[in-house]
Amino acid sequence: MVERDAILSKLRNALAQPDLRFPPADPEPLTDATRMTVTSAEGDAPALAHRFGQELTALYGSYEVVETPTEARLTLLRCVVDWMEQDTAAQKGAVIKTGQERSVLVWDPDSLPVGGLDDAFRDMGLTLVAPSDLTGKESREAIRSIRYGVSGVEAAFAATGSLLVRTGAGMSRSASLLPYYHAALVPFSRLYPTAEDWLDEQRQAGALVDLLRIHANLTLITGPSKSADIEMILTLGVHGPKFLHVILFRDE
């Protein structure tokens, strides 16, 4: 207790010095011209999409850029089927069947930026599962072994290869958190050079406060889940998906 009080006393005395350079006594409010950004990215939508992909690849993720929503749907379907084939090829010894092997955990199809997914996946013998309530044990058991997830995004930031994902009705966070594999659909209209550009757009539209109030969760995803807590050895898939694949496409 005495040591803590001594430390706090030193801090108070230091902050009371009149010649401190920081913080200034009466700082001027930041403007669009004086607000600094940490990162930057330039170019048209395709250029930003490839910049996003370069950043994501450096973080152990993967990406594809396609021209239309239809191509995005076909690319997503191929991606999930490839993951399933990889899982099958990697199986050794006895395999425990859960009944969820051909299920895909998703947002509600109406909340995804690509239409026709339900029919396309059904034609391949796959089932889309969009949970509306995971508070009960039975509902959680129904998805716990699903290895593939698909979500949309609130925004994507080219300069850092990051995804901003929100939750809400029809947009369960489980799709981007629980599966071993996560595929994210990013239309060009949701792609921004930096997080600051997105924030500025929300401020200008007067939507930022409501966005933060309405949604229980906003998650910034930068690459697959990773940790180096144990002996500083990087391990993927520790707290979430081990594989992240982002499909960017023109929607305008």
Which tens digits make up the pLDDT trace of 48-77?
A: 999 999 999 999 999 999 999 999 999 999
In a domain, 11, yes or no: no
Contacts of 181 (CB under 8 A, 6+ apart): 80, 83, 147, 148, 149, 241, 242, 243, 245
Specify if 210 maps to a domain.
yes
168-194 pLDDT, tens digit per residue, is 888 999 999 999 999 999 999 999 999
Has residue 229 been placed in a domain?
Answer: yes
Angle at 114 between CA 109 and CA 117, to 5 degrees: 55
Q: In angstroms, rounded to a whole number, what is the distance separating the alpha carbons of residues 61 and 248? A: 13
Name the residue range of residue 185's domain.
42-89+99-249
In a domain, 216, yes or no: yes
Residue 66 within any structural domain of the chain: yes
207 is a domain residue:
yes
104 belongs to a structural domain: yes
Give the residue, 229 or 192, on which the prediction is more confident: 192
CATH number, domain with residue 221? 3.40.50.10420
Average pLDDT score over the chain: 90
Cα–Cα distance for residue pair 140/158, rounded to 1 Å: 34
Our count of domains for the chain comes to 1
pLDDT in tens, 120-136: 999 999 999 999 888 89
pTM value?
0.84
Residue 17 lies inside a defined structural domain of this protein: no
